């Protein structure tokens, strides 16, 4: 069992608009998951996604931003 903690970060594209998420991609190799949380509520709920699902979420956000 690993005791590795999530290393949270925001995208370099995040502005100061307050509508950001943070992700912890350091857990992909050890646990096979990508935790995602609201950057405004770091102690709040965490959505845990499979890496493929996270990639789909990123692609969806990219297309929606166009």
Per-residue pLDDT of 17-45, as tens digits, reads 667 889 999 999 999 999 999 988 999 99
Q: What span, in angstroms and rounded, lies between the C-alpha atoms of 45 and 52?
A: 21
Q: What is the dihedral of CA 33, 56, 15, 19, to 10 degrees?
A: -80
**What pLDDT score was predicted for residue 17?**
66
Predicted model pTM: 0.80
Q: What span, in angstroms and rounded, lies between the C-alpha atoms of 1 and 33?
A: 15
Element spanning 55, H or E: helix 51-64
Residue-averaged pLDDT of the chain: 88
Confidence of residue 16 (pLDDT cuts 50, 70, 90): low
56 bridge partner residues:
none
**What pLDDT score was predicted for residue 52?**
97
Element spanning 31, H or E: helix 28-31
């Amino acid at each position: 069992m690993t005791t590795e903690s999530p290393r949270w970060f925001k995208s370099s594209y995040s502005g100061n608009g307050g509508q950001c998420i943070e992700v912890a991609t350091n857990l992909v190799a050890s646990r096979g998951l990508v935790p995602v949380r609201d950057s405004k509520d770091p102690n709040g709920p965490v959505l845990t996604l499979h890496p493929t699902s996270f990639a789909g979420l990123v692609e969806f956000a990219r297309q929606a931003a166009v």
